[in-house]
Amino acid sequence: MCGICAGISKENMIDEIVGGLKKLEYRGYDSSGVAYIENGKIKVVKSVGQIKNLEKKLAKTCANIVIGHTRWATHGVVSESNSHPHISQDGKVAIVHNGIIENYEKLKTTLKTKEFYSQTDTEVLANVISQMPGDNLQKIVSACREVVGSFALAVMFENCKDIFLAKRNSPLAVAIGDGEVLASSDISVFAEKFEFCYILDDDEFARINSKNVVFFDKNGKKIEKNRVFLKNFDFYSDFSDEKYFMLKEVKEQPMAIRKTFFEYTSDKKFFDLQQLKAFKSFHFIACGTAYHSCLMGARYIRHFCKKETHVSLASEFKYDENVLSKKCLYIFVSQSGETADTIACAKMIKEKGLMSMGITNVSYCTLNNLVDFVLPTFAGREVAVASTKAYTCQLFTMLLFALMLAGKDLETLKSFVLDFNVCDLGSDILQSLFKFKKIFFVGREQDYVTSLEGALKLKEIAYLNCLGIAGGELKHGTLALVDDETLVIAISTQTGLKEKMENVIEEIRARGGKVLLVSQFEHNTKVDYKIVLPVHEECLMPIVSVVPLQLLALEFCVRLGFNPDKPRNLAKSVTVE
Ligand code: AGP
């Protein structure tokens, strides 16, 4: 989960590459660096921390052959020496890399050099390339053949006016402009400036110069690639009205839900409904927030279609002894469509000849190329690491899917779509909540799912050690943690479980715990704080009830002095297993 950017131009390319790295910062922001050619020699500039630190160091630098990288640490601590670009010991090769070289220790033993300045797998690869025989392209093709693992690479050589690209299991695209060629881990980097791009497939290579790009297959044989036009690519605009992408994206949720609704009720055909109705069961697989949306998606299928469902964490599914079936549709949910754990499972299902569907928020992503059906979400580009609008759009898309499978009329959702809005928490309640450091989220059934998601938001941006617990499970152990310093956020949106949740609230308050009730209706029990939700159909309440939890996490985060868009230790797209 790093970002690479590379380019060649007749003009100075430094600003373009630094600008590209800024757009890739969501993929990792521990450190960054560039390498460029000056009088035939390779120069490298790196910095720890955000891209603006690198920008200062490059203030007076001019170069027209440049590669750049923004890092989320996988091998080696966060330091300048571990930052990319990495250079071979002889100084003749510089590379930037997104991915993991799993056999780098073994490759290290094949190297003539025994001197390494970093702890990274990438530095080893730079030396493997450098000592390979043949011309520059042959060196890279031969080196990548020895690699076990994933890579999106940009490679430059001393006294060479070309940059070389290589790709396996990590995204990489390249665009040609007027007198310049730009490559990036993410096509949003050039969506505003270029008309089309090319997307490299696994074990493909490219050689770029300021005029054009030539593609090669895994044997170094020339190949042709199709253009991907960017005109309808939805990329985020620089935001001015909100201080944080996350707040912008929380507020964009009503718009995103509306767009999703109108796309699926238009005359566009996203899938053959009869073909999908034939499946006997549905197995959802994902990570993190997307996994939580799967828990709801499975509930919608059971409720509206009365069909069997399963839900698995991708990182578990791949190693489980799953009982697989041709009558089952495997549904992979991923905002980025690049999550390595999810991709690995989709590849496994494909290799077994089973049918799969992707629910993704990015049009051109690896996952979409692996599945048989794609159900897009229309949340628009989501930049903040903590997923918000993509989550509610996943919920809504899966609700629409279940209703379509069940032959229901989607128009019944129209009033919700037009009424749905983002609530305002009100400063008084916030002031009273900030004193709590031990916070649990509890709910039953669909509200348990929302509890899990609410807890994840608070964990990942406010770094609070909080839990999401099934309401009925509290008394089986976790209740022991409840004391008068505990805040329990009780989510209760199902009238049929109201009494049960009243019992849960009593259990908590009897032990001194304070309760914040999040609900659209009254409860016959005393609580300490309340967030009153608007009334909508119960199946829609998971979308409505998660919004105040997103805002609560944001408020805690900012009050604690953290940046919600770039939480520590995390990245937006986890492209390593
Ligand atoms: C969500 O807030 C987290 N950033 C994380 O759990 C995320 O949902 C997970 O990594 C899956 O990402 P994906 O949807 O892009 O596959």
SS3 for 77-110 is CCCCCCCCCEECCCCCEEEEEECCECCHHHHHCC
Cβ contact 152:170 at 8 Å: yes
Query: pLDDT grade, residue 233 (50/70/90)?
Result: low
Minimum-distance ligand 1 atom for the alpha carbon of 572: 4
The set of catalytic residues is 2, 572
Q: For the domain 427-559, what is the CATH code?
A: 3.40.50.10490
Ligand 1 pocket test: pick from 291, 334, 335 the residue with the most ligand atoms within 8 Å of its Cβ. 335
Nearest-atom number in ligand 1 for the CA of 287 is 11
| pLDDT tier at 525, thresholds 50, 70, 90 | very high
**Ligand 1 centre and the CA of 84: distance in Å?**
25
- If you measure from the C-alpha of residue 573 to the centroid of ligand 1, how many angstroms do you get, rounded to a whole number? 7
Better-predicted residue by pLDDT, 574 or 98? 98
* 145 pLDDT above the threshold of 70: yes
| Dist. CA 314 → ligand 1 center (Å) | 12
Residues with CB under 6 A from ligand 1: 287-290, 334-336, 339, 342, 385-387, 460, 573-574
User: What would the two tokens of residue 398 be?
Assistant: 């899966």
Distance 290 CA to ligand 1 centre (A): 6
- Average model confidence (pLDDT) across the chain: 92
Interstrand relation of 486-492 and 438-443 (parallel, antiparallel or unpaired): parallel
Out of 3.60.20.10, 1.10.4190.10, 1.10.540.10, 3.40.50.300, the CATH code matching 3-232 is: 3.60.20.10
How high is the pLDDT of residue 400?
97
Q: Could you tell me the pTM of the whole model?
A: 0.74
Q: Which of 292, 315, 574 to mutate to test the pocket of ligand 1 (most atoms within 8 A of CB)?
A: 574
Asked if residue 240 has pLDDT above 50, the reply is: no
pLDDT at 374 over 80: yes
Q: What pLDDT is recorded for position 26? A: 63
**Using CA positions, which residue lies closest to atom 3 of ligand 1?**
386
Report which listed range, 21-25, 381-385, 523-527, is most confident: 523-527
Give the span between the Cα atoms of 199 and 149, in whole angstroms: 19
Which tens digit of pLDDT belongs to each residue from 156-167?
999 999 999 999
Q: State residue 22's pLDDT score.
A: 84
List, for residues 72-84, the tens digit of each pLDDT value. Answer: 776 677 788 888 9
- Scanning 59-215, the segments in alpha helix (DSSP H) are 104-108, 121-131, 136-146, 188-191
pLDDT of 481 higher than 50? yes
d(CA 189, CA 187): 5
26, 246, 387: residue to mutate for ligand 1 pocket, most atoms within 8 A of CB: 387
Give the model's pLDDT for residue 235: 45
Q: What angle do CA 361, 334, 380 make, to 5 degrees?
A: 20
Four-point Cα dihedral 443, 449, 452, 456, nearest 10: -140
Task: Calculate mean pLDDT across residues 411-417.
Answer: 90
DSSP state string for 23-55: HHGGG--SEEEEEEEETTEEEEEEEESSHHHHH
Is a pLDDT exceeding 50 seen at residue 238? no
- Domain 245-416 shares a fold with domain 427-559: yes
Ligand 1 centroid distance, CA of 288 (Å): 5
In this model, does residue 283 exceed pLDDT 60? yes
Q: Whose CA is nearest to atom 16 of ligand 1?
A: 334
pLDDT of residue 241: 59
Give the distance (Å) from ligand 1 centre to CA of residue 457.
Answer: 11
Q: What's the whole-number mean pLDDT along residues 274-302?
A: 97
Identify the residue whose C-alpha is closest to ligand 1 atom 4: 386
| Protein residue with least CA distance to atom 2, ligand 1 | 386
| Interval between CA 171 and ligand 1 midpoint (Å) | 17
Which single residue is written with the structure tokens 């495997």? 330
What would the mean pLDDT of 57-71 be, rounded to a whole number?
A: 94
Measured CA distances, 177 to 37, 108, 160, 474 (Å): 21, 39, 21, 59
What pLDDT is attached to residue 231? Answer: 66
Instruction: Just give the CATH number of 245-416.
Output: 3.40.50.10490
Q: Whose CA is nearest to atom 9 of ligand 1?
A: 288
Name the helix (H) or strand (E) containing 414. Answer: helix 414-419
Pairing of strands 228-229, 196-199: antiparallel
Query: How is the beta sheet containing 173-176 ordered, strand by strand?
Result: 41-48, 31-38, 65-71, 3-9, 180-184, 173-176, 196-199, 228-229
What is the pLDDT at residue 474? 94
Q: Is the pLDDT of residue 237 over 50?
A: no
Measured between alpha carbons, how far is 2 from 183 in angstroms, rounded to an integer?
A: 14
Residues above pLDDT 70, as percent of the chain: 97
CA-to-CA dists, residue 447 to 187, 222, 349, angstroms:
37, 55, 31
Pocket test for ligand 1, best of 72, 170, 249, 287 (most atoms within 8 A of CB): 287
- Closest C-alpha to ligand 1, atom 7: 288
Q: Write down the domain spans for the chain.
A: 3-232, 245-416, 427-559
The pLDDT assigned to 143 comes to 97
